[in-house]
Structure 1
Amino acid sequence: MKRLNKEILTKTIRKVAVWPVLFYQYGISPLFPSSCRFTPTCSEYTKQAILKYGLLKGSKLSAKRISKCHPWGGSGYDPVP
């Protein structure tokens, strides 16, 4: 029973953690022209990373990805590992 509660809590935290990303994707991002160098976009990558790995590791992967977003940082397909 405790394991089930821990799994439910973990999934809930992950889903709540992506709310700011969803707000950005649907509320802020449409107001600006698309400029992401990567596929999936950095916000989609962040959402996928948090849902797959949790808040801490997902955020770390997201920060690493966003740090590559500059003219010399590459571009193209870069999925969540």
Structure 2
Amino acid sequence: MAWLSIKMIGLYRSLAPDSIRGRCRYKPTCSAYAISVIRRHGFLKGWKLALERISRCRPPYGGRDLPPL
């Protein structure tokens, strides 16, 4: 399941318009963060961490937010 999730995120990155992808508040982007945590923590915990990060995507949040070790 993890590899399929990573492929789907890659598909999103290639098909989503720049107006959506170019507005990420974080470094690294949410899609890069999601790939990183899915690879490091597996499917379930990785998606949990990625969705928590995406839920913070509104003011006053933003800036540098690295994946947990």
TM-score (norm 2): 0.86
Partner of 2:63: 76
1:62 & 1:18 partners in 2: Cα distance?
Answer: 12
1:54 corresponding residue in structure 2 = 42
Q: Partner letter of residue 59 of structure 1?
A: W
Runs of at least 4 residues off by over 4 Å: none
Any unmatched runs of 5+ in structure 2? none
Q: Whose Rg is larger?
A: 1
Secondary structure at 2:34 match in 1: helix
User: Any residues of structure 2 matched to 1:1-81 within 5 Å, and which?
Assistant: 13-28=1-16, 31-33=17-19, 34-72=22-60, 74-81=61-68
Deviation at 1:61, TM superposition (A): 0.2
Which stretches in structure 1 are left out of the alignment for 5+ residues? 1-12
- Give the CA deviation at 1:54: 0.5
Richer in helix (by share): 1
Identity among equivalent positions (%) equals 35
Taking only aligned residues, the RMSD between alpha carbons, in angstroms, comes to 1.1
Which has the bigger relative contact order, CA under 8 A and spacing at least 6?
A: 2
